[in-house]
Amino acid sequence: MATLLYRLGKTAYRRWPFFLVGWLLVIGVVGGVAGTMSKPFSDAFTIPGLESVEAAEKLPELMDGAQSPVDAASIEVVVAAPKGHTLTETKYADGVTQLTTALAKLDAVPDQIPYLWTPAQAKAAAPATANAMGISVDQAAAVLKAQLAAQPSLSADGRIGLISTAFDVKTVADVTPAMQTEVLDTATQVAKETGLQVEIRGAGMQAAGGANASAELIGIAIALGVLVLTFGALVAAGLPILTALIGVALGSIGITALTAFTELPSSTPMLGMMIGLAVGIDYTLFILSRYRSELEHTDDREEAAGLAVGTAGSAVVFAGLTVIIALAALTVTGIPFLGWMGIGAAITVAVAVAVALTLLPALLGLLKSKAFGGRIRRYVPKRDADGAVLNNGVRFARLIGRKPVVWALAVVIGLGVVALPFKDLHLGMPSDATAPADSSRYQAVKLVEEGFGPGRLDPMMLVVDARKLDGDAASKQAAYAKVADWARGLDGVARVVAQPGTDKGAIILIEPKTGPDDAATDTLLKDIRAGEPAVEKETGVDLAVTGTQPVMADISDKLNSALVPYLAIVIGLAFLLLMVVFRSLLVPLTATAGFLLSVLATLGATVAVFQKGLFGIFPEQPIVSFIPIFLIGVVFGLAMDYQVFLVTRMREAHVHGATTREAVVDGFRNSARVVTAAAVIMAAVFSGFILMDDVVVKSMGFALALAVLFDAFVVRLVLIPALMYLLGEKAWYLPAWLDRILPNVDVEGEQLVRRTTGSRDDLDEDSPVLAGV
């Protein structure tokens, strides 16, 4: 591999115009597909085959065309009069009428928005309801009054009211930001004119709120500062930023183009940008740093570029492969939206690797001697008596080597303590309650909780399927009533609303006493499902519960059950890959053990800060269900990045005759500075995403930034060298039979020798000099 990459690096340097034009063509083609064939992203976090999803899909057939709650782009308008006033006062009642009239004029909203707050309103709505249901006006009036009594839409004090409608679209995925903005702007305008407080929530509004552009800028600014300190030259510092931005742009365009062929979650582009930007800067940094190092041994810049790509580029390929494996393996979980998020992020990583291997050397060929222009300081390292570089990496490695047992125990105990809150992990899914505190969605949640209780936020829907039940309409209605009576008797139920059924089935709304993110609500869901068989036997109907909370709970259970198989696949494949890279059994084992420590500590800290509200930085909220499994995949890949970059230099020294202790020091001499810079850059990029409005991206940015800091500075730079010292020569043990089986990929380019003198014209320009051949 090193030989092939060496040739690739030289070719890209020498024929830089062709490579630059080639990248422009790729961007143009992918951009053309994205611009002409792309479709909207989806905010539906659903999994085919779940009981709750299948129950929701039955509703259109059972209820004569009623839309499935999974697809419905619902809008709940929460209206509040000022403190001390009620919505039934003439001034504010007129304001509500003005609001519904204004919303009904919008193209994306139905032309009529009915609401029932009083018995008089229910009586007025009876004729239209009777016509729609095919019953008498008196029957319709009775149904509406009963529904109003069972589930009032006006708070007890008359101050807060609920108005339900939906976007006039087939599915939530069809809602556009412009439609949401139009609804919000209308509500804001009416609120300003009437003195009402108007807040909007619902499934149709959950895509609202864009990215904060300053997030990426903050991370990039910090990265640029670190690169300036690392290279001491402005041009060199800008190259990793430039190539990373090009890679992220192409990756994002590619993800957008992918929507032409499949439905992708709305978080995919942001997560791809987050990961692609971080690894893109790091991969270029490693190759560029090696290029500068090679220039100390030769004046031939083309040769130096070839050697840099052949050596550091090999490490980049395997580091990128570990990340791609970890992300792409999310597809085996059987969870479509999670798998596509992993694929999207893997695409950006693959693009970052390709950019580092080809675009960077092409830019070096373009710039030539100006690649390190704009110098602000000259790096002149100190050297020891043997002439070897004596830097802080060497000093730190020797410090660890004095008491490796103490350092190893300190890391294990310290990260173990940080991981303790992980035992209290409570998973949930993005909802209005996890929206930004200053958003209309979140304010609507607070008003609903104040006026109606937390259970009103997401009532469960008990779907009653009576198609197998013999009997007339009266007997079926009696069966529906028995189901409703059973539901009322369950612990934790605040209200039960039996909606009018058909001869095929009915919907019974169950409103819990607790909110959708409360553990008690999960207990109620389990109790409902546990009692379903007995009720089905008694009544002859089939029961299934659906709704936002049951769907989210089922998704969380599915994610948890997929975690162990996913870990086995990722760790197994990566372990094999690392055995090939390091030609060792114990080095991959220590790498994996260190990863488990860092990811557990990261999850513990995330639970403490996000779920328990430590330091008051974020409001208390459950951890988004797919974050642990996604975090494990991403962190494993990134952790192996640092393991590859650091330990391959140790192995290179060991192969050339150094003892393990000397190899550890040499690895730190050559790589600690770059790994430190890369970790700071990656953590800075991830930290910037904490400023995003999207709670998924916000919590993921926090967790990834913390994971990088834990893994790079605590595990890779402290624990791993301590373990290497303790293992000694055993660290490189590999059974002879396994050594014969494993391919020798020459990751660090051991066969390549530096051409320290002479011109490249002395030898075949496409053939490296081979050591020992």
| DSSP 3-state of 586 | helix
Mean pLDDT throughout 490-497?
A: 89
**Predicted confidence (pLDDT) at residue 143 exceeds the cutoff of 90:** no
Q: What pLDDT, on the 0 to 100 scale, is given for residue 210?
A: 44
Tokens of 367: 């710039």
- For the record, the structure tokens of 68 come out as 């499935």
Q: What is the pLDDT of residue 758?
A: 39
Q: What is the mean pLDDT of residues 616-627?
A: 76
What are 639-685's pLDDT values in tens digits?
Answer: 777 887 788 778 878 877 788 888 888 888 878 888 888 888 888 87
Predicted confidence at residue 46, as pLDDT, reads: 59
Please determine, for residue 67, whether its predicted confidence score (pLDDT) is greater than 60. no
Both tokens of residue 365? 């060929």
Over residues 323-368, the pLDDT tens digits come to 888 888 888 777 777 788 888 888 889 999 999 999 999 999 998 8
CA–CA dist 224, 217 (Å, integer): 10
| 8 Å CB contact between 490 and 527 | yes
Name, in order, each residue with C-beta under 8 angstroms of 300's C-beta and a sequence gap of 6 or more.
755, 759, 760
Read off the pLDDT of residues 250-276 as tens digits, 9 standing for 90 and up.
888 888 887 777 777 766 777 777 788
Question: H or E stretch including 513?
Answer: none
Q: Residue 475's CB: how many other CB atoms inside 10 A?
A: 14
What's the confidence (pLDDT) of residue 373? 83
Alpha-carbon distance 1 to 314, whole Å? 7
Handedness of CA 352, 355, 360, 366 (dihedral sign): negative
What's the CA gap between 545 and 508, in Å, rounded?
9
Which residues have a Cβ under 8 Å from the Cβ of 639 and sit 6 or more positions away? Answer: 591, 594, 595, 598, 707, 711, 715, 716
Distance of CA 679 to the CA centre of its chain: 19
Domains delineated in the chain: 2-40+209-375+382-431+553-762 (no CATH), 459-546 (3.30.70.600)
Tokens 């704009």 identify what position?
374
Cβ–Cβ < 8 Å for 288, 301 = no
- Output the pLDDT for position 702: 86
* Average pLDDT of every residue of the chain: 82
- As a whole number, mean pLDDT of residues 478-500 equals 87
Report the pLDDT value the prediction gives residue 115, as an integer from 0 to 100: 77
Cβ pair 722, 404 in contact under 8 A: yes
Q: Which residues pair with 198 in a beta bridge?
A: 79
Q: State pLDDT tens for residues 395-407.
A: 899 999 999 999 9
The pLDDT confidence band at residue 18, using thresholds 50, 70 and 90, is very high
Check whether 768 has a pLDDT greater than 60.
no
Contact 633, 271 (CB under 8 A): no
pTM: 0.74
- Confidence class of residue 419 from pLDDT cuts 50, 70 and 90? very high
538-570 residue pLDDT tens: 888 899 998 888 888 888 788 778 878 888 887
| Pure H helices in 620-659 | 627-655
- pLDDT value at residue 436: 72
Which regions of 55-170 does DSSP assign to beta strands (E)?
74-80, 160-166
Each residue's pLDDT tens digit, 705-749: 898 899 889 999 999 999 999 998 888 888 888 888 887 766 555
Q: Which pLDDT score, from 0 to 100, does residue 428 have?
A: 72
List Cβ<8 Å contacts ≥24 apart for 63-66.
Answer: 63/502, 63/504, 63/505, 63/507, 64/502, 64/504, 66/507
Predicted confidence at residue 207, as pLDDT, reads 53
Contacts of 145 (CB under 8 A, 6+ apart): 119, 122, 123
Q: Which residue has the higher pLDDT, 371 or 697?
A: 371
* Contact assessment for residue 425 and residue 627, using Cβ atoms and an 8 Å cutoff: no
The pLDDT of residue 378: 67
Contact between 194 and 341 (Cβ < 8 Å): no
Q: How confident is the model at residue 211 (pLDDT cuts 50, 70, 90)?
A: very low
pLDDT at residue 471 greater than cutoff 90: no
Q: Using an 8 Å Cβ cutoff, are 515 and 453 in contact?
A: no
CB 244 within 8 A of CB 280: yes
Q: How many residues does the chain have?
A: 773
Average pLDDT for 115-138: 75
Question: In this predicted structure, what is the pLDDT of residue 765?
Answer: 35
| The one-letter amino acid at 181 | T
**Between 210 and 3, where is the model more confident?**
3
- Token pair in block for residue 151: 């589930």
pLDDT for 760 equals 37
533's enclosing H/E stretch is helix 519-539
**CB of 157 within 8 A of CB of 67?**
no
Question: Which helix (H) or strand (E) is 746 found in, with range?
Answer: none
pLDDT of residue 595: 85
Query: Could you report the per-residue pLDDT of 273-289, keeping only the tens digit for each?
Result: 778 887 888 889 889 98
> Sign (positive/negative) of CA torsion 150, 154, 155, 161?
positive
β-bridge mates for residue 544, sequence order: 463
What are the residue ranges of helices labelled H in 403-438?
404-419
Is the per-residue pLDDT at 189 higher than 70? yes
Please report the pLDDT score of residue 752 as a whole number: 59
pLDDT, tens digit, 9 for 90 and up, residues 426-456: 777 767 777 777 788 889 999 999 998 888 8
How far is Cα 257 from Cα 271, in angstroms, rounded to an integer?
16
